[in-house]
Amino acid sequence: MDRTIQNAGELVVFKKQSQLKEIWRRLKKDRLALFGLTVIAILILVAIFADLIIPYSAAIKMNLRSRLAMPSAAHWFGCDGYGRDMLARCVHGTRVSLLIGFSTSIASLIIGGFLGSIVGYVGGRLDNIVMRFMDLFSAIPTILLALTVVAALGSGITNICIAITVTRIPGFVRVVRSSVIGIADMEFIEAARAGGTATPRILFRHVLPNAMAPLIVQTTMNVSIIILLAASLSFLGLGVNPPQPEWGALISEAKEYLRTAPHLMAFPGMLLCLASFSMCVLGDGLRDALDPRLKS
């Protein structure tokens, strides 16, 4: 909130209320963002308490008698081609998909943020070299880059997380770098430097906290992109290893039974859209709430 402090009127507002409260007040006004937040909160709770809702064994236990069962009291979401309970598979799929989405987004935030802030603050030759390298990574279409890494490492949760992280880093580096460059020129940084503060301390205590807003938005938006990307990889048969449930893998399995049991596609499909849509609108809302100046 560095720039607004120059404005005397805004200063009063900041002294009365903490920044977090102020952001929350603005976010509350955005109904769509609140909807997104609620849905995500519920999905996160489902993911955390997945084992309490329905044990993992129910998600992988085959039962040929209930093969392709329609939704009923015993199996709310029906059963898949191996007679596995779809509710259990969706619940545990939520856990896997959200785990991939959040952990990968945070991993790319940490790596990209670290690289971007150093590059932006130091500038010069290092900046030039690293940014050209990032440009090269961006010249490869995302899913192809992810496929290359999966080809090298093999499928499985950890490997697709690594693959997706590689594709997400350039975006984070760019966002952090540009906001760090903007902040590094400001007077309070000059003051810190004049006061003899060590460079790492300036970077992590003074520059980065002020560059947080675009980072939070980028991280939120990325969760949505990552969930879709992971689902696409699973759909291609290169994501999580069976019989582990994941939204994309569940949809891929449902493809074979599209004619006879379309409900198998419907439930994981709806969850996937709901999660991705919610993260998107939440990101939009956060952007407006964190930085009202950007609001159009």
Partner 1 sequence: MLLLIPVVLGVSFIIFSILYIIPGDPGSIILGPGAMQADIDKLNAELGYNLPFFQRYFRYIFNAFFRFDLGISYASRLPVFSEVFARLPVSLFIAFNGIFFAILVGVPVGVLSAVKQYTLLDKIPTAISLFLASLPAFLIGMVLMLFFSLRLGWLPSNGVGTWKHFVMPMFALGLPYAAQQLRFTRSSMLETIRQDYVRTARAKGASEQNVIWRHAMKNALLPVITVAGNNFGILIGGAVVTETLFGIPGLGTLIVNGVKQKDIPIVMGGIITLAAVFSIIMLLVDLAYAFVDPRIRARYASQR
Residue ranges binding partner 1 (CB under 8 A): 133, 135-137, 139-144, 147-152, 224, 228, 231-232, 235-238, 248, 251, 254-255, 258-259, 262, 265, 269, 272-273, 276-277, 280-281, 296
Answer positive or negative: Cα dihedral of 211, 216, 219, 225: negative
- CA-wise closest residue to 53 among 104, 92, 102, 99: 92
CB 281 within 8 A of CB 19: no
Closest CB to partner 1 among 157 and 236?
Answer: 236
| Buried-state track 90-122, b at ≥16 Cβ within 10 A, e below 16 | bbbbbbbbbebbbbbbebbbebbbbbbbbbbbe
Answer positive or negative: Cα dihedral of 162, 164, 166, 168: negative
Question: Minimum Å distance from CB 268 to partner 1?
Answer: 9
**Token pair recorded at residue 47:** 């993911």
Closest CB to partner 1 among 262 and 292?
Answer: 262
Question: Minimum Å distance from CB 275 to partner 1?
Answer: 9
Question: Minimum Å distance from CB 228 to partner 1?
Answer: 5
CB 138 within 8 A of CB 170: yes
Closest CB to partner 1 among 207 and 228?
Answer: 228
Closest CB to partner 1 among 57 and 260?
Answer: 260
Question: Minimum Å distance from CB 62 to partner 1?
Answer: 24
Those residues with Cβ within 8 angstroms of residue 219's Cβ, 6 or more apart along the chain or in another chain: 105, 106, 109
Closest CB to partner 1 among 200 and 262?
Answer: 262
Question: Minimum Å distance from CB 271 to partner 1?
Answer: 11
CB 233 within 8 A of CB 166: no
Question: Minimum Å distance from CB 106 to partner 1?
Answer: 21
Closest CB to partner 1 among 121 and 235?
Answer: 235
Those residues with Cβ within 8 angstroms of residue 288's Cβ, 6 or more apart along the chain or in another chain: 26, 30, 33, 294, 295
